[in-house]
Structure 1
Amino acid sequence: MTDRYASFVQTGAGRALVKRLGLPDPPRLRRHTPGDPLVPGPVLLGSSAGGRIAEPAGKILTAAGVELADPVAAHDADRRFAALVYDASGITDSAGLRQLYDFFHPQARSLLPSGRVIVLGTPPAECGSPREATAQRALEGLTRSIGKEFGRGVTAQLVYVTREGDAGTPVSLESTLRFLLSGRSAYVSGQVVRVGTGTAVAPADWDRPLSGQVVLVTGAARGIGAALAKVLARDGAQVVALDIPAAGDELAAVANEIGGSAVQLDLTAPDAPTRLAEHLASRHGRVDVVVHNAGITRDKTLGRMDADRWDSVIDVNLSSQERINDVLLERDLIPAGGRIVSVSSIAGIAGNRGQTNYATSKAGVIGLVDSLSPVLRERGISLNAVAPGFIETRLTARIPLTIREAGRRMNSMAQGGLPVDVAETIGWLSWPASGAVSGNVVRVCGQSLLGA
């Protein structure tokens, strides 16, 4: 679906009109193309006094071929940076927050278009005192505000890095830094990511971080699911694409394009989890990554909704995920080091009129991550979710114009996202190198004004 307004504002006449009338100004986002450098310019790395993460972060960036700017360059008014990375882990009280101002204030206009801001901190629950926890929690307000202020496609994120993982920090943190700095995270902003202590295995080739991995994608025939299958295959995965029999032709086309395999299966059938487990066991012997993408909508206001609409949405969007997880885990088909990624929605965070069933199911997916990820961590398996906002698909193309335009413009990017934006985020959470990232719900919404 084409966003004609966003295309128009890139023209000379469009830019003049936007400036004169103060209209939304969707920037051209930097998205990932294979072979791209991680960032298109130097990165300025700073640290609070006593910060513990700057040194390993610097090693990661240098090894990734990133040019780290000389701190003296920060005082050059004409110098431009591709990213600002700041280690705030040394801030132990509210007075220490002044260090954030001292670093970011002079650099507020120094970022290139589609630049990146990453702040590294300590999880408040791990802090040694209430004052330190207070200061570390304050970092969320900083990054969310920067994401809304800097404009021009700039994203801002907060990454909490556990103290328990300090010995393995370079490996545990690397996948997250690579994702957030790259064009893969074009439509992700204002997020809080927690990097813990799970097993993280760096790939031999960061251009193919899923090489040798067997990945199941449900709902793979079209839209976000089809984009997912293509991105994961591009990253080296052997993709098992699943969808309902009615979508068989589209599913086969996707599987053939990526060199994967197609499974036609209705996930609501009583024997679906068993049949799926048997297929994976006989064909592959395991499944390294399970991506629960299948979902439906059956919209009506609650007072007008019949029971079938309620039941079908809960069953497909939530209960089927639980049933599949139970069988695959019971049969040990997801090995240690495996990853599960579920697709939630911004509706599960903020709610949505006429979608009580859908919002309930998607909030339940977040509950699944909260409740099951600590259990799976004991087995060396990570569990995360993504929560898309307004994504340009055939589904959103059917939304009435005024509502569609509101969905597109009510975020820091002033535009809708693309299916590939969701796919890239799920790809990152699927990498073996992201095994220490678990229990997260990452919004792919351009920092929507709706919800938290």
Structure 2
Amino acid sequence: MSDTYLELVNSGPAAAVAKKLGLPRPAPLRRTDADAVDQPLTPGPVLVLSDSASTGEADAVAADLLSWDLDVRRDTRLGDHDRWGAVVVVLTGLTHPAQLSEPALTLGSVLRKLAPSGRVVTLSRTAPPALAAPSGDDVDPAPAAARHGVDGFLRSVAKELRAGATGNGLVLADGVEVSSVSVRGGLRFLLSARSAFVDGQLLTVGTDAGTEPADWRRPLTGAVAVVTGAARGIGAEVVRVLARDGAQVLGVDVPAAGEALSAVMNAVGGTALQLDVTADDAADRILDVARSRFGHLDLVVHNAGILRDKLLANMTPEKFEALLAVNIAAPLRMNETFAAPGTLGGQAVAPRIVSLASTSGIAGNRGQTNYAAAKAGIIGMTRALAGPMSRTGGTANAVAPGFIETDMTATVPAVARQIARRTSSLQQGGLPVDVAEAIAFLASPQAGGINGQTLRVCGQMVVGQ
């Protein structure tokens, strides 16, 4: 489904009219072109800024960026006709909010020179716990204020950016080095076109558990993945992106979608399995097919889901319970098998489980009490799985899409659809590939330090955080 308004206001007379009337003018986003192998990581040079206490770590970040053949600068001088492809702001040394002023104002002085679809990425530290430590020592309020202040600063910067530019952050746990694989992997994702619809988000890197891929462009080479709900929409795009990144893919969908599923899987040389995920033996059957066909299974993507929207006053037991059965009960049941030690991984990548949540599960949505409950349940399930998965060397994470242009959202009434598109910082809906890119990143070996988290792919919608 295309966004006709976006196309109109970016070409011809309609663009001039929209500008004169002050109408929203969403910009076309820079996305990964699968056919352009040598697509630059950023659309221009990268500026690295820092607070005065983070100079050494900023130098280390700059050195890593240079290793990716980027044009990296440590001062704000730029040619009159040049544009910054990205600005990385290293704030890992903050101990007081006052230290934020200098790098923040320097960032502000260069934002007008940020290229279309440019990037602003902050690196900061996790705030101390809100309660006193077990030893009884009190938490120093100043570092807590400084570190937490970066969150509000970054989210606000993201809302000020224009022309498809985005702002996101990596939040490092104490002890995690800026040069760790998971930090480098997260930074590369946020700088790249793969994160086109990720905006105003902060990802925590909790450990240095990532593994550097042999090829950053195909980090899933040798991995075997299963994707449920793979016949169409987001699921079909997840299959394509995982295969592009090197994975062998087993696609699962209900028998009624068999023809569409076969077409998707044939296109990537994958394997189709017609299966209802609510079946008690669904996980065992998936595992049997994966092992017989590929020898092992590394990655599980829980994408299968249905909608049964009704106001709660009009909701029937059948609609409520059917949705819960597919959207949350089935992943819970299957994870009893997939999260068991020795089931996943042990080959090209460590075990990974990535589940589809939704912004409805974060902020709620009118007429979606059942759907929001299930998707919030996915977030809770993901947090609870983080510990068991880490003990097997793996991770569990979730992706929460906002308004994505699919056949499903095409049925939304026209006015509501336009409102949903324009109420994000990027003023447009995302594409299925945007969700797929986030899933592929979280499934990758370099994301091993990211665990138990939910990454929103929503263009920084006004709802939630």
TM-score band (shorter)? over 0.9
Q: Does 1:115 align with 2:118?
A: yes
Structure 2 stretches lacking a partner, 5+ long: 131-138
Look up the match of 2:135. none
Alignment partner of 1:42 out of 34, 45, 65:
45
Deviation at 1:78, TM superposition (A): 5.5
| Counterpart residue identity of residue 73, structure 2 | A
Look up the match of 1:63. 67
| Counterpart mapping for 1:152-167 below 5 A | 152-166=163-177
Look up the match of 2:153. 142
The root-mean-square deviation of aligned C-alpha atoms, in Å, is: 1.7
Aligned pairs, how many?
450
Q: Does 1:95 align with 2:98?
A: yes
| Counterpart residue identity of residue 300, structure 1 | K
Structure 1 stretches lacking a partner, 5+ long: none
Tell me the distance in 2 between the aligned counterparts of 1:338 and 1:119: 28
* 1:54/1:7 CA distance change after superposition, 3 Å: same
Q: Does 1:419 align with 2:432?
A: yes
| Counterpart residue identity of residue 67, structure 1 | D
| Counterpart residue identity of residue 60, structure 1 | D
Tell me the distance in 2 between the aligned counterparts of 1:277 and 1:298: 29
Deviation at 1:66, TM superposition (A): 0.9
Look up the match of 2:187. 177
| Counterpart mapping for 1:222-241 below 5 A | 222-241=232-251
Tell me the distance in 1 between the aligned counterparts of 2:172 and 2:74: 25
Look up the match of 2:307. 297
Q: Is the 8 A contact 1:94 1:135 kept in 2?
A: yes
| Counterpart residue identity of residue 25, structure 2 | D
| Counterpart residue identity of residue 92, structure 2 | S
Look up the match of 2:86. 83
* 1:137/1:397 CA distance change after superposition, 3 Å: same
* 1:200/1:265 CA distance change after superposition, 3 Å: same
Deviation at 1:331, TM superposition (A): 6.2
| SS at 1:189 equivalent | coil
Alignment partner of 2:388 out of 375, 386, 392:
375
| SS at 1:108 equivalent | helix
Look up the match of 2:6. 6
Could you tell me the TM-score, scaled by structure 2's length?
0.93
Tell me the distance in 2 between the aligned counterparts of 1:436 and 1:421: 22
Q: Is the 8 A contact 1:60 1:170 kept in 2?
A: no
* 1:37/1:79 CA distance change after superposition, 3 Å: closer
CA displacement, residues 244-303 of structure 1 (integer Å, 9 cap, x when unaligned): 111111001111000011111101112222222222333333311111111110111111
Look up the match of 1:33. 33
Look up the match of 1:129. 140
Tell me the distance in 1 between the aligned counterparts of 2:188 and 2:169: 14
Give the fraction of aligned pairs with identical amino acids, expressed as a percent: 44
Deviation at 1:63, TM superposition (A): 0.9
Look up the match of 2:375. 362
Q: Does 1:16 align with 2:19?
A: no
CA displacement, residues 376-422 of structure 1 (integer Å, 9 cap, x when unaligned): 22221111111001100000111110111111111111111100010
Q: Is the 8 A contact 1:338 1:432 kept in 2?
A: no
| Counterpart mapping for 1:230-309 below 5 A | 230-309=240-319
CA displacement, residues 65-111 of structure 1 (integer Å, 9 cap, x when unaligned): 1110241516x666521000010111111221212333212112110
Tell me the distance in 1 between the aligned counterparts of 2:196 and 2:380: 26
| Counterpart mapping for 1:333-372 below 5 A | 333-335=343-345, 337-372=350-385
Q: Is the 8 A contact 2:238 2:437 kept in 1?
A: yes
Tell me the distance in 2 between the aligned counterparts of 1:317 and 1:68: 45
Tell me the distance in 2 between the aligned counterparts of 1:202 and 1:301: 48
Higher mean C-alpha displacement, 411-420 vs 198-207: 198-207
Deviation at 1:198, TM superposition (A): 4.9
| SS at 1:335 equivalent | coil
Look up the match of 2:136. none
| SS at 1:296 equivalent | coil
Deviation at 1:126, TM superposition (A): 7.0
| SS at 2:52 equivalent | coil
Deviation at 1:160, TM superposition (A): 0.4
| Counterpart residue identity of residue 6, structure 1 | L
* 1:325/1:107 CA distance change after superposition, 3 Å: same
Tell me the distance in 1 between the aligned counterparts of 2:164 and 2:364: 27
Could you tell me the TM-score, scaled by structure 1's length?
0.96
Tell me the distance in 2 between the aligned counterparts of 1:78 and 1:126: 46
Higher mean C-alpha displacement, 256-265 vs 329-338: 329-338
Tell me the distance in 2 between the aligned counterparts of 1:413 and 1:61: 26
* 1:138/1:285 CA distance change after superposition, 3 Å: same
| SS at 1:417 equivalent | coil
CA displacement, residues 345-379 of structure 1 (integer Å, 9 cap, x when unaligned): 01001111111000000001111122221332222
CA displacement, residues 103-160 of structure 1 (integer Å, 9 cap, x when unaligned): 2121121101111000100011379732111111111111111111121111001210
Alignment partner of 1:323 out of 323, 333, 337:
333
Q: Does 1:105 align with 2:108?
A: yes
CA displacement, residues 41-60 of structure 1 (integer Å, 9 cap, x when unaligned): 10000111221632332222
Alignment partner of 2:442 out of 429, 438, 445:
429
| SS at 1:53 equivalent | helix
Q: Is the 8 A contact 2:168 2:200 kept in 1?
A: yes
Look up the match of 2:134. none
* 1:331/1:400 CA distance change after superposition, 3 Å: same
